[in-house]
């Protein structure tokens, strides 16, 4: 057994949706470093192109595309384009999410539609289209993004949490449906990560510190620390893992985190 080759992605094409920044950008770079040719897609075309440029500067291969995951036709166009340009799609990572931090009693219909459309419907569209293509061509690995909020909530996180729990169930169901075709589907559930989505928290020192203290490692994660598990799930090292949720949370869901009692 060549164990080193199990952690390589040479000759495979990886589509990363949400590649312009944060976890998506780091994931695209990690996959490229393992040998994949990466399609960097994002609603922010300039950001996607910048990520592709970073990969090229590091000696990797990448191309950029633009996609709005909230628009079904746009996702269909993106994946169809990948199918036309490449023999097979080996990996698909989907990261985009938005949040509206407010109590349920203050949620508007517009807030509800925006969070559901981007997080749940957008992820669904990508899972469906990538899953269809991989099933037709005999295999692949799909990685979608859940969150610790899929299992642990707090005030102001209602709809965001519901969408992340929904993504877990979508992944499990698609894993069951496409397992016979050799397609693996898993979810990654990060804890607190230093990304544009958490900018509101970082501006409040007490809030930022409270979240750091909530996990076993006592700090936030960097996007690169989430990209490593993504890359693992993409490779053959994880070829018997499907329908799973990988928590990358510094131990948040494993401990109480509020008080260490005298023992």
Place of tokens 């990969």: 55
Residues 7, 81, 17, 143: is their CA dihedral positive or negative? negative
**pLDDT band of 258, cuts 50, 70, 90:** low
Q: Alpha helix locations (H) across the chain?
A: 3-6, 22-33, 45-57, 72-85, 109-115, 122-137, 158-178, 199-202, 205-213, 223-234
Confidence (pTM): 0.95
Residue 37 corresponds to which tokens in the numbers above? 């040719």
Q: What confidence tens digit (pLDDT) does each residue in 84-101 have?
A: 999 999 999 999 999 999
Place of tokens 């501006």: 203
Indicate the length of the chain as a whole number: 263
Which are the contacts of 44, defined by CB distance < 8 A and separation ≥ 6? 20, 21, 66
76 vs 109: CA distance, rounded Å: 27
User: For 10-194+223-246, CATH number?
Assistant: 3.40.50.720
Catalytic residue among 160, 208, 211, 240: 160
Q: What confidence tens digit (pLDDT) does each residue in 71-82 have?
A: 999 999 999 999
**Which percentage of the chain shows pLDDT scores above 70?**
97
Q: What confidence tens digit (pLDDT) does each residue in 60-69 have?
A: 999 999 999 9
More confident residue, 55 or 257: 55
The pLDDT of residue 33: 98
25 vs 224: CA distance, rounded Å: 9
Lowest mean pLDDT among 13-17, 153-157, 184-188: 153-157
More confident residue, 206 or 181: 181
Q: 211 catalytic, yes or no?
A: no
- Nearest-5° angle of CA 60, CA 118, CA 47? 30
């Amino acid at each position: 057994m060549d164990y080193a080759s199990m952690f390589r992605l040479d000759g495979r094409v990886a589509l990363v949706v949400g590649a312009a920044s944060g976890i998506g950008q780091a994931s695209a770079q990690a996959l490229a470093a393992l040998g994949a040719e990466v399609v960097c897609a994002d609603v922010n075309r300039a950001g996607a192109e910048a990520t592709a440029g970073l990969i090229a500067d590091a000696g990797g291969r990448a191309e950029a595309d633009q996609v709005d995951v909230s628009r079904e036709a746009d996702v269909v166009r993106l994946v169809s384009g990948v199918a036309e340009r490449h023999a097979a799609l080996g990996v698909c990572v989907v990261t985009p999410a938005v949040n509206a931090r407010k109590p349920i009693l203050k949620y508007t219909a517009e807030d509800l539609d925006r969070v559901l459309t981007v997080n749940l419907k957008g992820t669904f569209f990508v899972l469906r289209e990538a899953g269809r293509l991989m099933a037709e061509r005999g295999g692949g690995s799909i990685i979608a993004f859940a969150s610790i909020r899929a299992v642990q909530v707090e005030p102001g996180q209602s709809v965001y949490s519901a969408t992340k729990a929904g993504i877990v169930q979508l992944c499990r169901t698609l894993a069951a449906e496409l397992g016979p075709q050799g397609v693996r589907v898993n979810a990654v559930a990060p804890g607190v990560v230093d990304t544009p989505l958490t900018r509101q928290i970082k501006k409040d020192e007490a809030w930022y510190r409270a979240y750091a203290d909530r996990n076993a490692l006592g700090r936030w994660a960097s996007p690169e620390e989430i990209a490593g598990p993504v890359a693992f799930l993409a490779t053959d090292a994880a070829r018997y893992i499907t329908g799973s949720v990988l928590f990358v949370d510094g131990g948040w869901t494993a401990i109480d985190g509020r008080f260490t009692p005298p023992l």
